[in-house]
Amino acid sequence: MIKFLDIQKITQKNADEFKQAVGRVIDSGWFLLGDEVRSFEDNFSAFCGVKHTIGVGNGLDALRLILRAYIEMGIMAYGDEVVVPANTYIASILAITENRLRPVLVEPELDSYNIDADKIEAAITPKTKAVMIVHLYGQCAYNEKIQTICNKYNLKLIEDNAQAQGAIYNGRYTGCLGDAAGTSFYPGKNLGAFGDAGAVTTDDPNLADVVRKLSNYGSSVKYVNEYAGLNSRMDEIQAAVLNVKLKYLNEDTRKRRAASHFYRQNILNSEVMLPTAINEEGHVWHLFVVRTKSRTKLQQYLSDNDIQTIIHYPIPPHKQKAYCALNCLNFPLTDKIHNEILSLPISPVIADYELDQVVSTINRFKP
Ligand SMILES: *Cc1c(COP(=O)(O)O)cnc(C)c1O
């Protein structure tokens, strides 16, 4: 069986280092707000090229906390609008609605699957306060056009960097491209922890300060509460694991790129459309997403041939029951994408013989 993502194999690669790191935390008897988190925050700041990283509980909270902080800072207010791609993972939208802000969905481009910069301006109203770009499937969504629009309308540019740690735009890493970024270290992400974890990255010292307080009960001095905050902190064990993982992230990304390159060179089947990288450095291949009119058949055929695939994602946010107010909206490109996409196995540990097998199996596929 070729697994979609073999997290056991990924973990085995550095098992001794992980055991040492976790053992160090166990021996210290200190599990929250300690040295491991502080050092991970410094390491991740240096990696992304930002001034501040705040470790938090998960990726959804990272995005929630950015928006909540802007509300506390008086930069946004309930009912304000945030422009966001219609084909994103539900967490981007949840972060907006949890703060009683309004998501304004914009169609993606069919080639990059990222928000179509040419469609953003039409979605802007006097209530718009931010654009949340999502580096979907690992491809950087940032470009000068989006930055220019944000400057012109005085909008915050927020990155959902959950899928793209290590992607580069003109020499700068994702996480430092906008005003703030939220990222996720969910175990299946490119920089995955051993449980839930996330982080906010930003150059803005005020935002960093408010996010840090909000994530810790709205407090920086114990039992003194400046905000009605929440409890969303990265724990020491996750930070210790991530300190090990971060050292190997660029190497892991190179392996993902090599796998993607192999697929793109060798999958030759007119039924299967391959993904494109706008720029090779700008894509870290969190997912390798193909498109086909015969998705059900292809997925079944691959499964019959012992190849695991997943659909990211089968139902777009505007079709979810949770967002019935959005159900009447029409996003034909988003619908098309959700109906045709299929994610093939890809990871830093996928073996050459596995890549060969996926390629030859797909090349034999006839709907
Ligand atoms: C995974 C993910 C999130 C949420 O991260 P969690 O750590 O699972 O809360 C947000 N946005 C995108 C695009 C994601 O892929």
β-bridge mates for residue 216, sequence order = 231
Report, as an integer, the average pLDDT of 1-24: 98
Distance 163 CA to ligand 1 centre (A): 7
Distance 30 CA to ligand 1 centre (A): 27
Q: Return the residue matching tokens 């700068």.
A: 172
Which atom of ligand 1 is nearest the CA belonging to 188?
Answer: 1
Torsion angle of the four alpha carbons 364, 110, 105, 201, in this order, in degrees rounded to the nearest 10 = 90
Whether 162 lines ligand 1, by a CB cut-off of 6 Å, is yes
Distance set, CA 23 to CA 28, 29, 37, 43 (Å):
8, 10, 15, 20
Whether 59 lines ligand 1, by a CB cut-off of 6 Å, is yes
At residue 259, the pLDDT reads 98
CA angle 222, 224, 230 (to 5 degrees): 80
Whether 91 lines ligand 1, by a CB cut-off of 6 Å, is yes
**Residue 130 host element (H or E):** strand 128-134
Could you tell me if 291 and 270 are in contact, meaning their C-beta atoms sit under 8 angstroms apart?
no
End-to-end CA distance of the chain: 22
pLDDT tens figures, 151-194: 999 999 999 999 999 999 999 999 999 999 999 999 999 999 99
Whether 134 lines ligand 1, by a CB cut-off of 6 Å, is yes
The structure's pTM equals 0.98
pLDDT band at 220 (very low <50, low <70, confident <90, very high): very high
Could you tell me if 171 and 30 are in contact, meaning their C-beta atoms sit under 8 angstroms apart?
no
Distance 159 CA to ligand 1 centre (A): 12
How far, in Å, CA of 181 to CA of 53, rounded?
10
**Residue 55 host element (H or E):** strand 52-56
pLDDT tens figures, 73-113: 999 999 999 999 999 999 999 999 999 999 999 999 999 99
Which atom of ligand 1 is nearest the CA belonging to 135?
Answer: 13
Q: Beta strand pairing status for 198-202 and 180-184?
A: antiparallel
pLDDT band at 199 (very low <50, low <70, confident <90, very high): very high
Tell me which DSSP letter residue 280 carries: G
Report, as an integer, the average pLDDT of 187-208: 98
Whether 138 lines ligand 1, by a CB cut-off of 6 Å, is no
Q: Return the residue matching tokens 């969905």.
A: 105
- Concatenated DSSP letters of 185-251: --TTSSS--SS--EEEEES-HHHHHHHHHHHBTTEEETTEESS---B---BHHHHHHHHHHHHTHHH
Closest by Cα among 16, 9, 348 to 190: 348
Whether 355 lines ligand 1, by a CB cut-off of 6 Å, is no
Nearest CA to ligand 1 atom 2: 162
- What integer best gives the mean pLDDT of the chain? 98
Report, as an integer, the average pLDDT of 42-50: 98
Nearest CA to ligand 1 atom 5: 59
At residue 163, the pLDDT reads 98
Distance 247 CA to ligand 1 centre (A): 22
Distance 198 CA to ligand 1 centre (A): 9
Whether 62 lines ligand 1, by a CB cut-off of 6 Å, is no
pLDDT tens figures, 321-366: 999 999 999 999 999 999 999 999 999 999 999 999 999 999 999 9
Cβ contacts of 293 within 8 Å, gap of 6 or more: 271, 340, 367
pLDDT tens figures, 309-318: 999 999 999 9
